[in-house]
Amino acid sequence: MLSIEQLNALDLRAWLGSQQEAAKHLDLSQSQISRTGQQSLALLDGLGCALHHPVRHLHCDALGLMDKLRQVNQWMRFRDRSDLRLQSSCWLRHLVLDPMPEGWVANRAPLDRHNDCDALVLLENRVIDAALVTGPERPATDHPCLETIVLSRQPLMLLVDGLHPLANERGLAASEICAVSELAHSSFVHRHCRQAMEGLDHLLLTPGKRSTLCGLRSEPPRQARRYGTAMTCLIRPDLRPLDFAISHPALDVLVVHRDWSEHGAIRQLVRLLRQRLQGLQRHVSGLELAC
């Protein structure tokens, strides 16, 4: 039978995006992680388990053996309140997870790995235990196994480089913004956020025609515009908000498996995150805590 250690070697690669990061998390060598993973897959194959992959690197079997073992593994993490796994958006990872809440570990892999991480699928499959995401990434309200806890709201802004010609202009019109900027995304932005931003950009700035899109870059060019918040500007002081009103708020959301939503570790995490967000209010204009 597959052991917890063998399962962790597979699941941590799915969460963290690489064998290298999984090895660092478990304090093992990459060769050990690779060997353990290969042994695990060979064992499952020998049992006649047909594997499928809901997301990159995530292994599931038709017999549900891995699902049962993941349930046990997650139960042990919550029982011990130790090594609980928390995925986070870029901004909240920097602003509210330092120091890490007691009993929790975060995905500290490089940001370009986060683009591969589908937090909701990993939550559904009990690979991780909680996820801090933005509004566009949250599950549907009628999701069968995931529960959403809204932590905060804040104004959404259009941001440009501080040297952009529009950075210090006032009372901007949509046509002025489109004339000298293109929409762009950083490479770590989740695809659901990218889709939401592109839809919003079309609605606000280019109704009736297609938005001009720079595309996906590790760092968008200086002429680009992007969507963000005052929280973004805390981490990136080189960015400036454009004087252009957007009525759509940005949300920060905690998503957990419904089986564990009332567990003390989750309630304690919610309280701590709200306390830390409250501490940011004097630095982040318009940041409101959700009840």
Question: Which residues have CB under 8 Å from 289's CB, separation 6+?
Answer: 151, 152, 274, 277, 278, 281
| Mean pLDDT to the nearest integer, 189-203 | 86
Tell me the β-bridge partners of 150.
Answer: 253
Tell me the β-bridge partners of 183.
Answer: 213, 225
What are the tens digits of pLDDT across the range 26-50?
A: 888 999 998 988 888 888 887 777 7
- What is the Cα–Cα distance from 47 to 44, expressed in whole angstroms? 5
Contact assessment for residue 40 and residue 33, using Cβ atoms and an 8 Å cutoff: no
Angle at Cα 169 formed by Cα 166 and Cα 173, nearest 5°? 80
pLDDT for position 230: 94
Contact assessment for residue 230 and residue 284, using Cβ atoms and an 8 Å cutoff: yes
pLDDT for position 188: 75
pLDDT for position 175: 92
* Among 25, 167, 44, CA closest to 86: 25
pLDDT for position 133: 93
- What is the Cα–Cα distance from 259 to 124, expressed in whole angstroms? 11
Domain 4-153+251-289 and domain 157-247 have a common topology: yes
pLDDT for position 115: 52
What are the tens digits of pLDDT across the range 125-139?
A: 999 999 999 999 999
pLDDT for position 215: 55
pLDDT for position 58: 86
| Mean pLDDT to the nearest integer, 214-243 | 85
| Structural fold of domain 157-247 | D-Maltodextrin-Binding Protein; domain 2 (3.40.190)
pLDDT for position 210: 55
- What is the Cα–Cα distance from 170 to 168, expressed in whole angstroms? 7
* Spans of all domains in the chain: 4-153+251-289, 157-247
pLDDT for position 101: 95
To which CATH superfamily is domain 4-153+251-289 assigned? Periplasmic binding protein-like II (3.40.190.10)
- Separate counts of helices (H) and strands (E) for the chain: 11, 13
* Res. 89 pLDDT band, cuts 50 70 90: confident
